[in-house]
Chains A and B, each alone.
Chain A
Amino acid sequence: MLASFAPVLGVMKFESTPLGFDNWRRLAWLAIEWVEDAGGFAMVGLVIWIIIGLIYPVNDTLPDGKKRNRLVGPGMLLSAAAALTAYLVALGLTYVVAGEQPGVKTIQVLGREGSVMVVFLEAALTVAGLIALIGFGGPFVSDCFRLRWRRIYAIAKLSFKEAVRRRIVWVFLVILILYLFPARWFFQEKPEDELKSIIGVTTRGMNVLLVSVGLLLAAFSIPSDIKNLTIHTIVTKPVERFEIILGRFLGYLGLITGALVIMTGFGLMLINAGNVSEEAAGESMRSRVARYGDLDFKSLKASDFKGMDVGKENGYRRYIVGRSSQRAVWSFSSIPDRFGTENSVPLEFAFDVYRTTKGTEGIGVQVTFEVVSHTWDPDKRIDDPANPGAQIRMEDAFNRDLQAQKLQNVNVTPEDAKNWAKVDALAEQYGRYVFNNWQVFDYHTSSLPIPGGIFRNANKGTPTRDSAIKVDAKQAPPRVQVRVRCESPSQFIGAARYDLYFLESEGSFSFNYFKGAAGLWFRLVIALVLSIACSTYLAGVLSFLTALMLFIAGFFLDFIQELASGTNVGGGPLESLARLIKNDTATAELDPNPVVRVLQGGDAAYRWLLRRVMNVIPDVDRYGLSDYVAQGFSIGPDFLLINFITLAAYTLPWFVAAYYLMKAREIAA
């Protein structure tokens, strides 16, 4: 008979660990990299600005009759000189690093390993970047103090009204059509995927329409003002040039934010009012708060076991084989106190099943879960309560008690309250809970109740590195470990870090839906900033196309990164062209003749250029938060905040560039 099917839930799939405040080293490195990249651009800007300022000076006459170049001050010159010196030092260090032999002594700085020279090189680049930023951003910062909210608000209001007058808002109504026609009318999908498809399709639709509108509005605003000479009505008034940029930006942002909020609300209303299937509601109309652990793979046969590769093209998961000593182990270094007060805590998981034999029809792969706390030590000798004065191994005592309670090899669920209480008490006493032979099906998430006793036990004392449950030196000593073992012979299960989690709590789907819209808002901010910054120098159409190209390139950042680092299949554009002409396959080695070498040299130059351009391309994929909503996972406030910080870090240089370009434009006029 077919086994009863597991309830359908969900898991998130992250190719790389999402940013979080808990990993401060990674954040610090991101900040350093930002200073290096932005500093590099600042240095280029600084040099160009100084040259233009010296060739076309705008002089102020001082009270003593002397002239002072308003564009290039001594501070700017000084910082440029200092930054240049630091960059020269960095150049020298680059030469040294390039000549380093393998096996040179390394040190660890903020969790990253490198030779002393590499550390110095990073430091030199950071210092140089920082100085260049100060030099280039100084005037911008000092001018920011002259900005007045009243004036910015007036320009923003004007921009808003202009856009409304142009009947832009009608475009937004088109998006509503997406909601009015349920996705199931167009796509035949599995019932549990229905809401995912609705969210996916509507988010994509909103992305296209809102971003296009934002790009068009912002790209044509300042060029139109200049072309129609209406800008003179503003610039002849005591208005800071940067206030025009900010005003335009905030005005359009306000309009599009309003539209986004209304559409999100309307969309949510239609989802709630619509006849979403029961399965889809169970899968996606939720807002799970997940507690993730760190994943390790263990095997008695290999101390450095990292899980097996079964040859799947997508190497996201690693695999363990059935009926072996291999384990997938999740370590949780912190556990909410609330878990201890619960009767049971859901442990949710979804594993990939890889079969080497057909197995039995309708029967999943069997998996055993062992949940242990840091106090569990099978070999530790404890006082035997049944035999005062004597000692017994902890594991023997646990097994004896299980047997006494008639619970050995019995899987108990909370519905069986009497036995569950016994299981809970044992888990609290020993810090161990085992569930045998759970059936796992491919692409379906299951939920296993874990007794609260485990967590009460885990919250006792402080875990140390001497505990019986061992983890890597890099990881904090865990309070709880979940060990997963595959029981079906010749079958494999594949696991990734985010495939298993404790369900901490559940939030509101509606609120989460709005939080998901914040991702789109972040993208809109990027689109507006790019458009406005480009429009300060380029004509409307060019601004629109440049901003659009940069924005679209953001969706292919992974590919561009591969291309820039030379790891993509088929080589750079010239090499690919040669392959096309010669009808060679992308993976074939090219004959290293002089022509090929020249082409590869050209590609190397292209890659160098691409690496510089890459820093300008926004990582728009980062802000795709709709996946969280579609899968039914809560978007945490810290995650939103960190995304906002990265957004600010990306947009700030563009604002500075826009500030200078607007200033330059005035100079040109």
Chain B
Amino acid sequence: MANVYQQAAKRRKLAYLAAIVVLLVCSLGVRGSFFRIDRKEVEQVKGDPLLALTLDGRAKIHELTELQQGEKELGGAAVQLLLTGSRGLAVCALWNTAIDKQKRQEWNELDIAVDSITKLQPHFTAPWLFQSWNLTYNVSVEMDRLNDMYFYIARGISVIAEGEALNRNNPDLRYNIGFYYQNKFGVSDRVTTLRCLYQLSCIPEEERDPERLLNPDRTVNQEKFEQFCRDHRELVRRLKEARIPLDGSDEKAQTLASSPSEVIAFLRANRRLPSRYKAGSTDLEERRLKQFPVFPDLRGQPITTRELSYDARFGDGEQDAFFAARAWYSLANCSLPPPNPVPNNDGSFNPDPLKYRIPKRPATIIFRQGPMRAQSYLAERLTKEGWFDPRDPWIVDDLLDEDRAWMPRTGPDGKRVSVEILPWEGSTAQEAWKEAAERWRIHGNNNGLRMDPTRLLTYLSKAEEYAHTKPGLFVGSMPPPMTPEEAKDAHLTDLYEAFKVMWAWYSNRTNTNYETFELESDAMQSDDAMLAKKRFRQADKAYRAPNYAEAVRLYDEGFAAWQRVMLARQDCRARKAADPSFNQQCRDFRDLDSPQESIYETNLKYVRLAQDVRQRQLRDSTMWLNDLLYHAGGSTSGNPFQFACDLNVLALDVERNQERPADPVRIESRVPQFKAITPLALPGPMDGNAPDGTPWISDDVKRRIRERLGLAKPAVPPANASLIPTGPGGDAARPPGR
């Protein structure tokens, strides 16, 4: 029998044990461990009030459990566990290592360090963003060889895509992936080769095996090569026709491949690349994140537009980074709150923080237009590469000598014919512009960037009325906060709301440049715009052929078509002409800077060419003009023999002497004058005025382009008088000695 102390100790221990068990059971109950919530659906948990009260249940409803954060990475999780409390220390050491490796230019080591850092803290988005940017931009540009550069761009994108998979619903990560694709494969300065490499990544290695395209004697197998060109028309055309400046000079530009064997050499030099396909196989990589280019998993996402999915095989027309950018931007928009069709400046407002996220940057209104921007870029790319409309084939050996033809063919009449390849179905500039116009329109309506004119007018008149109530306020400026007294006045509140709408309307349209994109896509989808672009491209080719007369003819056709495009889209002008009281800020397609600059550059090129081609006629015109002025001035002197000094008469004389050199030369000393005669300056088709009397191209654009091309000296800015110090009397201090 135990003594009293022993019994007390025993009772105490039992009480402790009971308390421990009770607390444990309670804590497990509060947590919800008995209900196996991890195996239940969210709706099931929401429907059961008991489950919804538990910690696990609430975490499940609010999507806060580890499994709901994104895909799981077991290797990283195991290492995190192993490191116990020293994860921070390890991450700091690895971060330092990464900096050191970058400094020493040990890229493969840097890559491993980056991988380790992100594995150790997968839900911290800053390292994903920073290091992926680092690899894609800072490391890749260190590479001299473009396939090395491509590898590190791909690595950076793969790193951030992995981060996106681990951090579900993060708009910043998604947007950045789209931005990397768009920026690196769309608008960087080595874009032509990078685009080709991107396209190779979308083709199974076996299909682009250079050996497959060769005969046993190592010559090009014409049949297989033609089939390759048909299957990958955009790739081959880019290799053949896209001109890359040499030493920064467009004049000395050359193509990536000037013969089929050079295409094969390109394939050989870039055989080992990150790919969507398994090595040496035509099967797609099963794991989405092992593919490059990596696409998002769009299953179950509220996306209404057609976007490419990671499990699809892409045709030649879809092997473009803008498709990837568009898909990622679309996915990024899924994380945001639904758009508001009324113009507003509430970009950071989140109606349901548990469901939606607000991006850190850029501004939400700019963030939302990612897919549309990518679509416009895609359309621009197709326009630039010459895939204008479905009826317009790529004539492979257009304007080439027979011995330089890639696919020499003879027609039934024995004459040389060129192989023609139609654009990939659905992959033409016109279709892309149409889709861009449609996307921009829907985006504008949904986000308050586009409004019915009547509705807009209503807002405008109310806003003007409100502006009149406060001195110094104008429509479009930031509204001051309402006073409590003002807020009680329903009419004033209504006016104030309209004023706010107009402020958001102007600022959002300016910040996003929406009007430009909308007008441009709308104009470019027209047949005339495509015809103009087609003729300009053909004229450029004819110029290089060289076939100058043909080039001039094609340019003329192109300018005529372009003028039709400009005249057909003058809604703003038409409205202003119809209603003199119309005072809204608006522009037409012909007012946009970018098309104006582009067409004026073409115009200048045309003028140079036309002056060369028509030099003789223009010089004659100068002489006639000179004689005309001479006579006009001389008639007052009344000298009837002055015609003997006419330049035309003298020129004829010189020509006669040249034809008959044995004849005595009468006025040899005047010969150099004829050579120095400047041909009459020829105005370009876009130099004059449109039928409405306004210039086709604004003077400001003309000046800018001429300055950029070195045809005019940059205008000296006016001296700023306020910089000159003034004396006590207010007089400007004079320089000493004057």
Contact = CB atoms under 8 A, between A and B. Distances in A.
Interface of A: 1-2, 4-5, 13, 186-191, 193, 196-197, 200-201, 277, 279, 313-314, 316, 352-353, 357-362, 364-365, 441-444
Interface string B106-125: 11110110010000000000
A353 B269 contact: no
B144 A4 contact: no
B420 interface: no
Contact of B158 (A2, A188, A353): A188
Contacts of B142: 442-443
Given A2-B266, A2-B269, A442-B145, A361 B193 contact: yes
Interface of B: 75, 103-109, 111-112, 115, 142-146, 148, 151, 155, 158, 189-190, 193, 244, 246-248, 254, 256-258, 262, 265-266, 269, 272, 274
B256 A443 contact: no
Given A442-B144, A442-B145, A362 B104 contact: no
A189 B111 contact: yes
B140 to A, nearest CB: 12
Contacts of B115: 186-187
Contact of A1 (B108, B151, B247, B257): B257
Find the residue from B108, B148, B151, B257 having the highest chain A CB count within 10 A: B108
* 7 A-B pairs closest in CB distance: A442-B144, A193-B108, A441-B144, A1-B262, A314-B103, A313-B103, A360-B246
B215 to A, nearest CB: 21
A279 B142 CA distance: 21
Contact of B104 (A13, A441, A442, A444): A13
Nearest to B246: A360
Find the residue from A2, A359, A441 having the highest chain B CB count within 10 A: A2
B144 A2 contact: no
Contacts of B274: 188
22 contacts: A1-B266, A2-B193, A2-B256, A2-B265, A2-B269, A13-B106, A186-B115, A200-B112, A314-B104, A357-B248, A358-B189, A358-B248, A361-B146, A361-B193, A361-B244, A362-B193, A442-B143, A443-B105, A443-B107, A443-B142, A443-B148, A444-B144
Contacts of A316: 104
A186 B247 CA distance: 40
Find the residue from B106, B144, B155, B265 having the highest chain A CB count within 10 A: B144
Contacts of A5: 145, 269
A200 B246 contact: no
Contacts of B244: 361
B104 A190 contact: no
B368 to A, nearest CB: 32
Contacts of A357: 247-248
B435 to A, nearest CB: 32
A13 B248 CA distance: 34
A316 B248 CA distance: 30
A200 B108 CA distance: 10
Given A279-B272, A361-B146, A196 B108 contact: yes
A513 to B, nearest CB: 19
Contacts, number: 83
B112 A1 contact: no
B155 A188 contact: yes
Nearest to B158: A188
A60 to B, nearest CB: 52
A330 to B, nearest CB: 21
B280 to A, nearest CB: 11
B75 A186 contact: yes
A190 B108 contact: yes
Nearest to B99: A313
A190 B247 contact: no
B141 to A, nearest CB: 10
Contacts of B146: 2, 361-362
Contacts of B75: 186
Contacts of B106: 13
Nearest to A278: B272
Contacts of A2: 146, 193, 256, 265-266, 269
A358 B246 CA distance: 9
Contacts of A189: 108, 111-112
Nearest to B263: A1
Contact of A197 (B105, B108, B246, B269): B108
Contacts of B145: 5, 362, 441-442, 444
A2 B193 CA distance: 10
Find the residue from A1, A277, A352, A353 having the highest chain B CB count within 10 A: A1
Contacts of B256: 1-2, 362
A46 to B, nearest CB: 39
A1 B265 contact: yes
A228 to B, nearest CB: 29
A5 B148 CA distance: 11
A557 to B, nearest CB: 14
Contacts of A442: 142-145, 148
A74 B417 CA distance: 110
Nearest to A181: B75
Contacts of A191: 272
A190 B265 contact: no
Nearest to A313: B103
Nearest to A279: B272
A187 B107 CA distance: 13
Contacts of B104: 13, 314, 316
B193 A360 contact: no
Contacts of A196: 108
A364 B158 CA distance: 28
A191 B274 CA distance: 10
A429 B169 CA distance: 74
Contacts of B148: 190, 442-443
Given A1-B254, A187-B111, A441-B144, 6 more contacts: A200-B109, A314-B104, A352-B105, A360-B246, A362-B146, A442-B144
A413 B78 CA distance: 54
A359 B247 CA distance: 5
Nearest to A361: B244
B610 to A, nearest CB: 32
Nearest to A440: B144
Contacts of A358: 189, 248
Contact of A364 (B107, B144, B246): B144
B25 to A, nearest CB: 37
A594 to B, nearest CB: 33
A279 B279 CA distance: 14
Contacts of B143: 442-443
Contacts of B155: 188
A52 to B, nearest CB: 39
B310 to A, nearest CB: 16
B447 to A, nearest CB: 38
A521 to B, nearest CB: 23
A598 to B, nearest CB: 29
Contacts of A444: 144-145
Contacts of A362: 145-146, 193, 256
B494 to A, nearest CB: 50
Contact of B112 (A13, A201, A443): A201
Contacts of B103: 313-314
Nearest to B148: A443
Contacts of A360: 246-247
Contacts of A313: 103
A2 B106 CA distance: 26
A360 B247 CA distance: 5
B216 to A, nearest CB: 22
A443 B104 CA distance: 12
A183 B109 CA distance: 13
B729 to A, nearest CB: 44
Contacts of A190: 108, 148, 151
B201 to A, nearest CB: 13
A444 B155 CA distance: 19
A343 B663 CA distance: 74
Nearest to B112: A187
